[in-house]
Amino acid sequence: MYSIIKKMKKIMFHRVTYLLVAFLLQAALIIGVLLGFQAYFVVFYGFSILLSIAVVIWVINKHIHPEYKLVWVIPILLFPIFGGLFYLLIAQNRISRNARRKMGHLLELSNEVLPQNENIIKNLNDNSSDAANQMRYIKDFGNYPPYKYTKTQYLATGEEKFEKLMAELKKAEKFIFLEYFIIAEGKLWSEILDVLKKKVKQDVDVRIIYDDVGCMLTLPKNYHLILEAMGIKTCVFNPVIPVISSLHNNRDHRKIAVIDGKVAFTGGVNIGDEYINEYDKHGHWKDSAIMIEGEGVWSFTVMFLSLWDYLRDEVEDFIPFRKEYTKEDLEELEKEPGIVQPFFDSPLDGETVGENVYLNLITKAKKSIYITTPYLILDHGMLTALTSAAKSGLDVRIITPHIPDKWYVHKVTRSYYGMLINSGVSIYEYTPGFIHSKTFLVDQEYGVVGTINMDYRSLYLHFECGVWMHEVTSLEDMKTDFFHTLNKCHQINFQDVSGASWPRVLGRSVLRLFAPWM
């Protein structure tokens, strides 16, 4: 009984409870104020209708994806008295003007310290114009150049990533930069934190960025102050305030670790015990990451520092954090074939870099497209690209989870299976549990490992990152891991899809309508 009361108190006094109550009270207050105008019902009703019509016209003419327009137009038309007002309150990106200006300035500073490496694209253009075009797009619109003197190591599980990360953290001499959507208290974080505290005592510059929403249920309130007291410099990305606002839409979904400018990590793996299967959260957790060494690490260093300065409203000199490579270093790095290009996707610049990188890979494919993703919520362009590739005879295979972390998102994911399978796409569900890996492998010539899910939030609303690779040795490891994972999957056939009951089909269809909110 005591334990039950203790749990109830914990829930009642949790920060999430306070925020939820605050949001509900504000919504009730807004509705109450509006209903208070009943004495002027005709005037108020006419004003509300005109406002909703104006908002609908505005939404339809905005330069946003049609699916996102539809998901707002329908509720506004269904509830014209409140629909237009609520759209103005919670759907607008109010930080865009100010934040875009500040972020744009930081990007200009970043471009000044990033190498242009035009010769890499120029030299490749004669042999592989498709690869050169993709690199040019990422460089021009993702603001990060390609590199040759860079090694890659594909890490097929969270356990492998943790082992490598710990080894590199222990070797740190100058700085450690960690940026994660989720940091959760537990075995994994305790071991990392022990190393970070030791490194602080050795005068290593240790900095951490974590997302407030991502860590709301996994870290104590004001945890950044606890870390600062340990000497670990900390930024909380976009802290949630108890006010109804669209400010909460943009999250930092990146997972980045940079040590001394020598090595960098990214991929799907957050800092939490489920990522190393220390406990069973949604069955066996399958994830992946990429570690890079060499000149390409500089892009991740700049990526981190740009966001750090954005959050701290500072401008610092990035150059002291750049590692200088000797002739012997470069000769060793030159043994690694291929080209590596880290990239960054921001919701503040109006360019959907992550989506376009994926679309470029799909449309340039000649033989095969192998994808792993925890969520498969596709807009019309992505759905058309995948089905067209399969109809053209390409081997298109996608692995999704069998045990979901969010049941409603998984139902929307499954709503796409029928159209994909009918077009020749092979769909597999990871039977042991949840697959959180975000990978693209095309023709065993191109690959991407990063943080970008195939859903609306990742592609349009979140800060994301990834590593685009061309003809590197890690692509063979990615292929091996993909087919090893396939052996643990159940292939979805047309009978599985067509056998669903009509209430289930209807439920998935309704949820799919609101997919851009998921």
Write a three-state SS string for 85-117. Answer: HHHHHHCCCCCHHHHHHHHHHHHHHHHHHCCCC
Choice among 252, 345, 379, 443 that is catalytic: 443
Q: Identify the CA nearest to 197 among candidates 172, 161, 221, 222.
A: 172
Please say if 255 is a catalytic residue. yes
Write a three-state SS string for 191-204. Answer: HHHHHHHHHHHCCC
- The bridge status of strand 150-155 relative to strand 175-180 is unpaired
Q: Which two tokens stand for residue 331?
A: 């000769």
Choice among 139, 161, 253, 286 that is catalytic: 253
- The bridge status of strand 395-401 relative to strand 426-430 is parallel
Q: Identify the CA nearest to 448 among candidates 432, 464, 462.
A: 464
**Residue 380, helix vs strand vs coil:** helix
- The bridge status of strand 368-372 relative to strand 439-442 is antiparallel
Please say if 436 is a catalytic residue. yes
Residue 259's DSSP bridge partners are 176, 263
Please say if 205 is a catalytic residue. no
Please say if 197 is a catalytic residue. no
Choice among 255, 262, 410, 470 that is catalytic: 255
Residue 310's Cβ-count burial label (10 Å; 0-12, 13-18, 19+) is: buried
Question: Is residue 387 a contact partner of residue 418, using CB atoms and an 8 Å limit?
Answer: no
Q: Identify the CA nearest to 492 among candidates 415, 408, 433, 421.
A: 421
Distance of alpha carbon 179 from alpha carbon 251, whole angstroms: 12
Choice among 161, 438, 462, 470 that is catalytic: 438
Please say if 286 is a catalytic residue. no
C-alpha dihedral sign at 16, 20, 23, 26: negative
Choice among 260, 273, 309, 477 that is catalytic: 260
CA dihedral angle for residue 87, residue 90, residue 92, residue 95, rounded to 10 degrees: 160
Question: Is residue 431 a contact partner of residue 490, using CB atoms and an 8 Å limit?
Answer: yes
Question: Is residue 137 a contact partner of residue 144, using CB atoms and an 8 Å limit?
Answer: no
Q: Which residue is listed with tokens 């200088």?
A: 324
Choice among 224, 436, 462, 470 that is catalytic: 436
Q: Which residue is listed with tokens 């999957």?
A: 489
To the nearest 10 degrees (0 to 180), the angle between helices 297-312 and 96-113 is 140
Question: Is residue 462 a contact partner of residue 251, using CB atoms and an 8 Å limit?
Answer: yes
Question: Is residue 482 a contact partner of residue 368, using CB atoms and an 8 Å limit?
Answer: no
Please say if 488 is a catalytic residue. no
Write a three-state SS string for 147-167. Answer: ECCEEEEEECCHHHHHHHHHH
Active-site residues, by number, are: 253, 255, 260, 436, 438, 443
